[in-house]
Amino acid sequence: MKLAIVGLIAAVRIMQIVIGRNGQSVVDAIDLAHERALTALNNRLEGRTETLKNPHPQASLAWFAWIVGRLGGWSGYMSRGYKPAGPKTIPRVSAVSSPSSRAGTWRFVP
């Protein structure tokens, strides 16, 4: 029973990230204390061209979904038939299941 509840919580969080790209705040999905680490990850994951830069406003759920999608292996392209990261890409990142699990490593981000 407990395992089913854990799975349900993870599934709800994943779908919240996938569906909630319409202007929701990142606070709805994770703790705002991680924003500094997410900004550092965003800077590392962005490419040199404008098409590979995160187009979403900082601290929005779409901004967070873009970062998680890139960490999950999504290419970042959204033109010529490419789509944003979906429910198959988002779960690849363990931070979605438990964002606080990466907090220990995020402390060392400058």
pLDDT value at residue 106: 45
The pLDDT tens digits for 30-76 are: 787 888 888 988 998 888 888 888 888 888 888 888 888 888 877 77
Are 69 and 85 in contact by the 8 Å Cβ rule? The answer is: yes
Residue with tokens 């962005």: 46
Are 92 and 62 in contact by the 8 Å Cβ rule? The answer is: no
How far is Cα 65 from Cα 26, in angstroms, rounded to an integer? 9
Look at 51 and 5; give whichever has higher pLDDT: 5
How far is Cα 62 from Cα 50, in angstroms, rounded to an integer? 17
CA angle 55, 42, 69 (to 5 degrees): 75
**Mean pLDDT, the chain, integer:** 77
Q: What is the pTM of this model?
A: 0.72
Instruction: Please state the φ and ψ torsions of residue 25, each to the nearest 5 degrees.
Output: -85, 150
pLDDT value at residue 25: 81
pLDDT value at residue 33: 83
